[in-house]
Every structure is written in structure tokens, then in C-alpha cells.
Amino acid sequence: MSELHTKTLAELAGLLQGGEVKAVDAVRACLERIEATEPKIKALITVMGEDALKQAETMDAGGPDPKKPLWGVPVVLKDLLTTKGVRTTCASRILDNFVPFFDATAVTRLKEAGAILIGKANMDEFAMGSSTENSAYFQTGNPWDPERVPGGSSGGSGASVAAGQCFAALGTDTGGSIRLPASFCGIVGLKPTYGRVSRFGLIAYGSSLDQMGPMTRTVEDAARVLQVIAGHDPKDSTSVDEPVPDYLAGLGRESLDGVTVGLPREYWGEGLDPEVEAACRAAVDKMVALGAKTVPLELSLTEYAIATYYIIAMAEASSNLSRFDGVRFGHRTAHADELIDMYTKSRTEGFGDEVQRRIIIGTYVLSSGYYDAYYNKAAKVRRLLRQDFDKAFTQCDLIAGPVCPTTAFKAGDKADPLQMYLMDIFTISLNLAGLPGMSLPVGLGADSGMPVGLQLMGRPFEEAQMLSVAACLERNLAPMPRPKL
């Protein structure tokens, strides 16, 4: 088997542009890896092997293109990004046979940059979950231990990157769904500022929370992918017309002199597993050794973040998913007597338990008798959460803390939905505030032997600074081992 799959995206891109490796070789290496690992981890819903090989052959015939930074690089997409002519399911029975007629803007930009799409990744149904156990098709395993979850909802994307099936993947993050699987799978996951990356073609869960971002093996790889997909899109009304900086320019910094890192008391206290705290503390100590200064912070509204998030997210889910009714597209029941019966049975048959739960709760909090008591109040708390962060960033340049209170848990261990919701306690606030954040692997838990991720959080549209600091820290930490899969 080819060892190409062990290269980083940056290394592969250099080999491809230099003519040392053909695009066909890169695709074959990934397809071989998919064949070897899929029976154990089940990361992909759709494998586009034949199309990928044909595209690679065509590209090789024309030769490398230096104007295309991802020329010949195999990439995986979370299966809620529309792909022209390729089945897009959101891991839901209700979209089992949905084939879009257009590409999402991010997909178009990847193609224009020369990337080769090789698969569509498994996920929690409609991105609703923290473990990828809610997929309508199958459960994805963690490459470090297939009996454990890869995180969610972008668990398939994270597992695919960690297993060497691709060189980068796109995930989406509504409440931590890029950062959590990145932490659990030992890779880099970046959630950009809300509005930095176009949401056109992203099948929505929570429209004011969803944001797309890269999942890669290194910080440099994440910067390369973000450089391609970031930028204003007139097709997306939530896309912000903000200049996109050169994300690669600051990655070579040798020290963290002049950088102040805030450590929120709420992220480092009760409920944090000792092995997670130890690994994250060691990473912060390394930042200090590199010249960074740390300051204590208080994000006093963190305790209200879970309740606020789930009221807003479920309300938006109720609204967004109302379009899937069996009339225009998606699953339609074969056993309906009249219109309302068709709506009810189509949605009952098409949606899984967690999606139905969130739709029902979302409809409840939006109802006339409860809107002011729940949704309106949550919207006000959301604004206060953002003000909490704005105040914190007057004292520091970045905020650091664990991504999750634990390492990856075993499948079935969080059967109680409330326990599962608490997995996002450290990530949710960032989505409510619309700020950028990322997960950086900082080692393995002393007890579990599973990856631990440090979360870095930044000011709006300052992904470049966050990537610069993360790259410096990454170079000075012990190399992250690979899963023995």
C-alpha cells in the first residue's frame, strides 16, 4: 500500500506541484486507505472513487497548475454540503435519495482550487448530535479505538482525516461540531467567524449558528483550506464582505512574545477530567515558555450557555426542517390517506428520534404562549454572552481552554440526551457569540490513551492571529502520534 496517505496536505501539494507525484497516485492512495479502514470505522456514506480517478487522470494530462493551491489533493465533504449530481443525505432517511443540481459555494471554491472530491462523510442526522451515533445509516468509530465515538456532528469528517482517508475534510460547527470531533480524533479543526465562509449550499440546522470550516492534520493545512473557502459570497445574505488576509503569512513565528492568553475560570474547574486538564495545562505552560502571558478571566454567563443554545438551535431547527414534508423533495410515505396524514407519516418515517425531539422542543419554544418565556429570553442572554466575550478580549488576545470535559467516550455511554448535550459546554458559547475557535491536538490522555484538544478562541475575523499562535505551539509540542488502524 502507498504511504502517500501519511503526508500532510502541504507536503502532498508540494509533491504534486513539483511533478513528483501524480494526482492519480494521491487518489489511489486514499482509495486504498478507505478500503482498508472503512470496515472498522465507517466514516463515509458515499465514496466517489470512479469519478475522482477520472478527474485525476484528466488533471494529470494537463499537468500541475501553480494557480490552484489544492491541485490534485483528495478532500472529503460532510454530507450536508450540496454536491451537483452526487447524493446528499444529511445522514437522514428523509433525504435518502436527494441528488442536488448545484454545488455549495465552498465546494465550488474547492474545485476551482484543484481539489478532488473523494467522498461524503457520515454525520449526526442533520448535524444534531455530539457523537455521530444519530446517523440514520450507521455508527462511525474513532480511528484511535473503533469502540469509542469520533465526536459529532462532523464525526465522519474527523475520522476520515485521522484515518488517512483524505488530506482534508470540511465539517460544520453549530455548537462545537468541528472542534469536538477534531479533539476526539486528534486532528486540527477550525470554526471560522460567523460570516467568514459562505453558507450557500449548506443544508441548515441552526441558521444563525452554523459555520463551515476545515478539518486537517496540521495548522498549516487548515490555513491552506480556509484560504480557499473564505470570502464574501453574494449568494449568502449572512456572508460578510470582509477582506480575507493571507493566513499562511504568519505561520512561521518563532515565539509567542507579546501574546496574552486568557484562561476562563469556568473552563478549568469542576467537571473537567484530570487527564484532559493535565494535557491542556501542559500546553498552556508551553505557551508561557514560548513567551506568552496568561491572565485569569471570568465568563460568568457560561452556565447559561447550554440552555440558551438549545432553545435557539431547536427553534431554528423547527423552522428549517419544516420544508421536509414529503411534498417537493425527500421521503414521501406510501401509506397516507390525506394531506395532513402524509405530512405526519412522511416526517415520522424520515426523521430519527433526536431530530424529532429537537423539532418538537423548537416548535414549543416558538409557540405563542411560550415565545417570550423561552426564545425571546434566550435571544437576550445570547447578546449578553457576546458582551461577556467582548469584555474578556479587552484583557487578552486569545482565550484558551479544553474543547471537551472528557476524551472520546464509548458508544452508548451517553444514552441520556441531557448528558450528551453537556459534552458541548465549552464550545457552545462561541457559536452563540459568532466568534472563531479551533481545536489543536496537544497529546493523549494519561489514562485513556485518547487524544486531547486545546481550544483557542479569538476576536471576530482574527483567524490569522489564532492560526499563527496555534502553529507556533504545534511546532513546539511533541509530535502527535497516528492512530494504529
- Mind telling me the catalytic residues? 78, 153, 177
H/E run at residue 190? strand 188-191
Residue identified by cell 512561521 is 252
- Cell numbers at residue 193, please? 467567524
Separation CA 224–CA 248 (nearest Å): 7
Distance of CA 354 to the CA centre of its chain: 19
Closest by alpha carbon to 245, among 10, 466, 429, 439?
466
DSSP-assigned beta bridge partners for residue 197: 230
Separation CA 472–CA 469 (nearest Å): 5
Separation CA 299–CA 41 (nearest Å): 37
Closest by alpha carbon to 450, among 409, 420, 398, 404?
409
Pairing of β 437-444 and β 398-402? unpaired
**2: preceding bond cis by omega (within 30 degrees):** no
Residue identified by cell 464574501 is 232
- Cell numbers at residue 466, please? 489564532
Task: List, as one string, the DSSP characters of 439-479.
Answer: EEEEEE-TTT--EEEEEEE-STT-HHHHHHHHHHHHHHSPP
Separation CA 106–CA 76 (nearest Å): 12
Alpha-helical regions (H) of 353-462: 353-366, 377-392, 417-421, 428-433
Separation CA 185–CA 178 (nearest Å): 11
The residue type found at 368 is S
User: In whole angstroms, how far apart are CA 208 and each of 48, 155, 239, 397, 474?
Assistant: 31, 22, 11, 25, 31
Close Cβ partners of 253 (under 8 Å, ≥ 6 residues apart): 468, 469, 471, 472
Closest by alpha carbon to 449, among 404, 422, 415, 480?
480
DSSP-assigned beta bridge partners for residue 117: 75
